[in-house]
């Protein structure tokens, strides 16, 4: 009996077809280059002439595909990395389960790895995650995975990169300028968090003039940063931090050597976290996890959750729970999955973080549960062949 395809199936088919077409391009570039360069290398020419011959092969492919030579070299390099070092990822790309953007992101990570064991772990673990998450989520997850697999190398690179910290100003033609600062990730997270909290705490009505503050949150944060930088005379970085400690965390007792994680899942140096833990400004909060790394359920008999539950749920979710939405949990609302007035409890099991836009969509009946991710598991597992 004939059954028409649903829209969901049609979208999935289109996505796979696009990914397979991208794989076909990568595979063609790789195979054509290897065939053509065999002829170049077999010729009785000087090495520099052979190098120019290989460049000519790439130039021809770039013009055939109407892309830059640089991008053609990039495709060639990424395709060879996946085919030769991560065959499972390459096979998954071939059948359209991941697209070129995700394949390239995985290839870039593989190029940084130093050990065959780490490469094997990525080959076996990355595919499943890449299939079900956005490109931005995949990048963050791969950074966490690498920090877990090769912590010493990541620490060394972080220390080297921190030496390049700097500030620069770029003046535009319209009377504004960009102020850019390259900072260690942990410090940048703390700066962003303080700006967000301070902007949200500003009164809606000016106490002196009685006028309503009509600035956007971005404008408030920009104004606050300007005020702080032009009036503050401090010479030391003071970070008021929260460190979530799981009673099941093997990193805490030294059995494993993994990275610290920011609230939205970005890895930071474990050495920096240990140093931060010694600060008098650091607040410790113990979160009890179940065996698979989920924050255990807590309930209260009221509509509004207490601050302790709010903080626990923000640590649990990290960001808005809608798949692909990267709004930090600190900027979200706590939504009752089953409405409170319909019997829903104020509990970890019934609450989830939703950004204001997605919360409003849910309130008006336009947010299907299939668009939501499950709660974050703070214990990530990786399988090696």
What are the tens digits of pLDDT across the range 145-160?
998 899 889 888 888 9
**What is the per-residue pLDDT across 279-320, written as a single tens digit (0 to 9) for each?**
666 665 555 555 555 555 555 566 677 777 887 788 888 889
Give the pair of three-digit tokens for residue 22.
């991208």
Residue extents of the structural domains in the chain: 7-132, 299-371
| Partners of residue 260 on adjacent β-strands | 268
At 128, which helix (H) or strand (E)? helix 116-132
Residue 149 and residue 76: Cα distance in Å, rounded?
26
The position carrying tokens 């702080």 is 228
Give the residues of the chain that fall short of pLDDT 50: 245-249, 252-253
Q: Distance between terminal CA atoms of the chain?
A: 42
Q: Model pTM? A: 0.71
* Fold entry, domain 299-371: DNA Binding (I), subunit A (1.10.30)
Residue 247 is predicted with a pLDDT of: 33
At 257, which helix (H) or strand (E)? none
Residue 22 is predicted with a pLDDT of: 97
Burial, 298: exposed, middle or buried (Cβ in 10 Å; 0-12, 13-18, 19+)? Answer: middle
Query: Is the distance from CB of 169 to CB of 177 less than 8 angstroms?
Result: yes
Query: Is the distance from CB of 344 to CB of 335 less than 8 angstroms?
Result: no
The values of phi and psi at residue 207, to 5°, are -65, -25
Q: Which of 93, 82, 91 is CA-nearest to residue 16?
A: 93
CB atoms closer than 10 angstroms to residue 133: 17
Residue 50 is predicted with a pLDDT of: 84
Query: Is the distance from CB of 338 to CB of 344 less than 8 angstroms?
Result: yes
| Partners of residue 299 on adjacent β-strands | 347
Residue 329 is predicted with a pLDDT of: 85
Residues 6+ apart with CB under 8 A from 337: 344, 350, 351, 352
């Amino acid at each position: 009996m004939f059954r028409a395809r649903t829209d969901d199936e049609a979208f999935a088919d289109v996505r796979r077809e696009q990914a397979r077409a991208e794989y076909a391009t990568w595979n063609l570039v790789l195979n054509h280059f290897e065939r053509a360069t065999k002829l170049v290398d077999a010729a009785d020419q000087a090495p520099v002439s052979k190098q120019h011959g290989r460049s000519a092969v790439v130039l021809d492919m770039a013009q055939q595909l109407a892309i830059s030579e640089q991008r053609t070299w990039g495709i060639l390099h990424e395709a060879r990395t996946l085919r030769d070092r991560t065959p499972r990822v390459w096979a998954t790309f071939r059948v359209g389960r991941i697209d070129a953007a995700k394949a390239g992101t995985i290839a870039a990570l593989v190029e940084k790895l130093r050990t065959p064991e780490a490469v094997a772990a990525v080959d076996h673990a990355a595919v499943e995650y890449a299939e079900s998450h956005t490109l931005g989520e995949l990048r963050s997850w791969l950074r966490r995975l690498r920090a877990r697999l090769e912590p010493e190398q990541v620490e060394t690179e972080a220390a080297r990169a921190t030496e390049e910290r700097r500030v620069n100003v770029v003046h535009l033609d319209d009377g504004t300028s960009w102020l850019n600062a390259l900072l260690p990730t942990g410090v940048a997270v703390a700066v962003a968090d303080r700006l967000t909290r301070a902007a949200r705490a500003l009164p809606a009505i000016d106490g002196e003039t009685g006028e309503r503050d009509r600035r956007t949150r971005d404008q408030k944060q920009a104004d606050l940063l300007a005020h702080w930088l032009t009036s503050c005379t401090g010479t030391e970085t003071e970070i008021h931090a929260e460190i979530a400690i799981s009673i099941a965390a093997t990193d805490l007792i030294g059995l494993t050597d993994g990275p610290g994680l920011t609230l939205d899942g970005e890895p930071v140096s474990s050495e920096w976290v240990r140093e931060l833990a010694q600060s008098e400004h650091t607040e410790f909060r113990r979160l009890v996890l179940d065996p698979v790394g989920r924050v255990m359920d807590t309930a209260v008999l009221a509509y509004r959750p207490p601050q302790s539950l709010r903080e626990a749920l923000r640590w649990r979710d990290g960001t808005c729970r809608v798949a692909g939405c990267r709004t930090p949990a600190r900027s979200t609302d706590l939504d009752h999955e089953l409405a409170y007035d319909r019997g829903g409890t104020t509990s970890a099991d019934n609450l989830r973080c939703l950004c204001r836009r997605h919360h409003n969509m849910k309130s008006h009946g336009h947010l299907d549960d299939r668009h939501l991710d499950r709660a974050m598991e703070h214990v990530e597992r990786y399988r090696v062949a």
